Structure 1
Amino acid sequence: MKFKTTIAKGAAVAALLFAGAAQAQDNLRLGTEGAFPPFNFIDSSGELAGFDVDIGLALCAEMGRTCDLVAQDWDGIIPGLIANKYDFVIASMFITEERKKQVAFSDPYYLAAMSFVAAKDAGITDFSTEALSGMTFGAQSGTTQADFIQAVYPEADLRLYASQDDANLDMASGRLDLMVGDTIPLSDWTLKTDDGACCEIIGEPITDPEFVGDGVGIAIRQEDTELVEAINTALAAIIENGTYKEINDKYFDINVRTMKAE
């Protein structure tokens, strides 16, 4: 009888361990930056929030998975994914050939362009390499915006920042002649914030595929092919069932999948 009781207890423990392992496998870790409003930011309660976060959580719900949020500085966001700190990254990351060498990407979940920002009285109308040579540019470190400035304006004084907010601060303080960043966040900053009132978006949007890639995608480790497929299936589903539009309309006046008003 004692032997049978031991077996029964062992079976119960095994069942609990199996259930725990299954539950752990159902959990995913979503990595994002938390410093790129309105796409990802820390809200007034200290929680990660924004368009990227809401889309990521909607994808998790569609996949039937529980997701934990992980904040990561931009410079370390791809190394953190490769090091298994989280399972996928949704942080407004352009899909570029260079990044494809390190990670896999989902289908694009929105389109994006980059823009120049300058002080309202700057009077800059010529954006040629020669005209802007020697000017002081600002951009977030490790971004395609920084790559663009280095490639097109090699003689510029480029200052790199840990976050877009840090770059905005120096732009507002008059320490930069120009700044390059994603169009939508910079539009929000210049039109909807007090410190951004100093400045305006100038020139045409920068849409060169060499720098903006094939849109904005979700980064996944290259070996996690099943997760790539699952995320793509879930993305198509939330677009089809209207969840994507609800989230889009919470943050934007345009459809960011097409960059057009509806």
Structure 2
Amino acid sequence: MKKFTSALIGALACTTLLAGAASAETVKVGVAAEPYPPFTVPDASGNWTGWEVDLMDALCDEAALDCVITPIAWDGLIPALTSGKIDAILASMSITPEREEQIAFSDKYYSTPGAIVAESGSGIEPTAESLAGKVLGVQVSTTNQAYAEKHFPDAEIKTYQTQDEVNQDLYAGRIDAEIADLVTLQPFLTSDNGQMCCEMMGTVEQDVEIYGPGIGLGLRKGDTALKEKFDDAIAAVRENGTYEEITKSYFDFDIYGD
């Protein structure tokens, strides 16, 4: 009888563990299919690395979520979220009033100002007067495109699908300058091509209506339980040092911001 009871208890324990594992919530996390170093970078096998990928792993571990990376073209991320193809967006998406009309956001997990990069020695400054008549490159459907169109009305705005394409055209001399997030520009500026051609001309003046309070996870309106899990996870990894540990592998400055 004792052997049977022990076996039964063991079987029930295994069943409970299996049930717990099976009940973990699966969350499809959308990332931009276009490489966005150092945040999200796919290799030839389709494996993803980068700061946001490492952060996603930490947040999902903290929240006990089974997160699956789902790459989608940048300008298709919000439609994919609202239609239910994905459950969250983790793609350096700024929290803006315009986007908040369509989706909800988690608390911010980093923030970074927009900046202007141009050919070394060009003397270009991050002002409307300096950029008037210049060809300014920017990734399409980003807050930086909205900023450029509003604040640099006399520049010729040229849009690209990926940030890499913007960098390549600046290096090749096909555009005069580019605007992008300061953090995003660092890998280009420290690359061989970036060091040969270009320099940081400064950050642009803040526009909260365009840039919002920072970068957050995009979520469907009404998914309050999932938002709470991610908000709690963001706070937890900030408090327990995991956030700092991940960040120092990629940046030598505070990416979280004010």
TM-score normalized by structure 2?
0.86
CA distance in 2, matches of 1:115, 1:211: 14
Secondary structure of 2:93's counterpart equals: strand
Secondary structure of 1:109's counterpart equals: strand
Partner of 2:77: 77
Pairwise CA distance, 1:101: 0.6
Partner of 1:193: 191
Residues paired across the two proteins, number: 240
Give the stretch that moved more between structures: 97-106 or 241-250. Answer: 241-250
Q: Deviations over 1:160-216 (max 9, x none)?
A: 1111011111111101111000101212211x2112121111033443212221011
Structure 2: where are the runs of 5+ without partners? Answer: 1-14
- Distance verdict in 2 for CA 1:245–1:130, change over 3 Å: closer
Partner of 2:10: none
Give the % identical residues. 38
Partner of 1:116: 116
User: Is contact 1:32-1:53 (8 Å) kept?
Assistant: no
Partner of 1:37: 37
What one-letter code is carried by the residue in structure 1 that aligns with 2:217? I
Q: Deviations over 1:199-250 (max 9, x none)?
A: 1110334432122210111110112111111110111111111111111111
CA distance in 2, matches of 1:60, 1:248: 17
User: Is contact 2:24-2:64 (8 Å) kept?
Assistant: no
Partner of 1:11: none
Pairwise CA distance, 1:155: 2.7
What one-letter code is carried by the residue in structure 2 that aligns with 1:151? K
What one-letter code is carried by the residue in structure 2 that aligns with 1:170? D
Partner of 1:107: 107
Secondary structure of 1:134's counterpart equals: coil
Partner of 2:131: 132
User: Is contact 1:104-1:220 (8 Å) kept?
Assistant: yes
User: Is contact 1:183-1:205 (8 Å) kept?
Assistant: no
Structure 1: where are the runs of 5+ without partners? Answer: 1-14
Give the stretch that moved more between structures: 37-46 or 70-79. Answer: 37-46
Q: Could you say what the CA RMSD is over the residues aligned between the two structures, in angstroms?
A: 2.1
TM-score normalized by structure 1?
0.85
Matches within 5 A, 1:149-160: 149-160=148-159
- Distance verdict in 2 for CA 1:128–1:240, change over 3 Å: closer
User: Does residue 1:170 correspond to 2:181, yes or no?
Assistant: no
